Amino acid sequence: TRRSVGGENDSAPRQLARFIVETGAAYLPGFRVQMIYRRDRYLRGGDHIPFLEQGYPAVRFSEPNEDYNHQHQNVRVEGGVRYGDLPEFVDFEYVAQVARVNCAALAALALAPARPTDVRILTRRLTNDTDLQWAANTEPDLAGYEIVWRDTTSPVWTNSLRVGRVTSHTVKGMSKDNYFFGVRAVDAEGNRSPVTYPRPLGR
């Protein structure tokens, strides 16, 4: 499917990462969270990898400008340079901001409805509209769903359309060839689930 219609950057872990970026921007607007399209950094492996290997959506939080004198080093002084992960080399305000992003994302996930399931993009006909369908969520406080989309070159969802408590919707005048689409659930208090990327459904 990915070879024919794309979606190589729309796995469940990628949707979780987008959810975290969006949540971080809402609650910590001055703190930038950047997605990196890699499983992990070169020569290292994080604790999230075993979860990925078992099929769980997982991401890694990492600072962008690492100081290798204070990472993966035994505590020592060598050539006049202090090595090791010591408290005096920690930016505690930065660590606190990362913790706030984690907490905001965890709280948002806990409050959100479940991701929509069996989300499909219908490919039975050639049209400049986009037909989507999905299975109904079971939460009693479900308010409905949102269709989201972005340009094929955009890393994050840039647009949304509230469609109510339905299980299908046609986005008029927007070709599935030109955008990536997704569906998320919304509850009565406005909490939003992570997005589910649709699989194609043909004949």
DSSP 42-80: TT---TTHHHHHTT--------SS--GGGSS--SEEETT
Q: 46, exposed or middle or buried, with CB in 10 Å at 0-12, 13-18, 19+?
A: middle
**97 and 138 inside one domain:** no
Residue 7, in any domain of the structure: no
Query: Final residue of a domain: which of 76, 93, 111?
Result: 111
**127 and 197 inside one domain:** yes
**44 and 130 inside one domain:** no
How confident is the prediction along the chain (203 residues), in pLDDT tens digits per residue? 566 667 889 999 999 999 999 999 999 999 999 999 998 888 888 999 999 999 999 999 988 888 999 988 999 999 999 999 999 999 999 999 999 999 999 999 999 999 999 999 999 989 999 999 999 999 999 999 999 999 999 999 999 999 999 999 999 999 999 999 999 999 999 999 999 999 999 86
User: ∠ CA(65), CA(39), CA(107), 5° rounding?
Assistant: 80
pTM: 0.90
Name the percent of the chain in helix, strand, coil, to the closest 5.
25, 25, 50
Q: Shortest CA distance to 184 belongs to which of 173, 174, 192?
A: 192
Q: How many domains does the chain have?
A: 2
Query: Final residue of a domain: which of 111, 134, 157?
Result: 111
| Domain housing 101 | 15-111
Q: Shortest CA distance to 34 belongs to which of 46, 22, 45?
A: 22
Query: Final residue of a domain: which of 111, 136, 153?
Result: 111
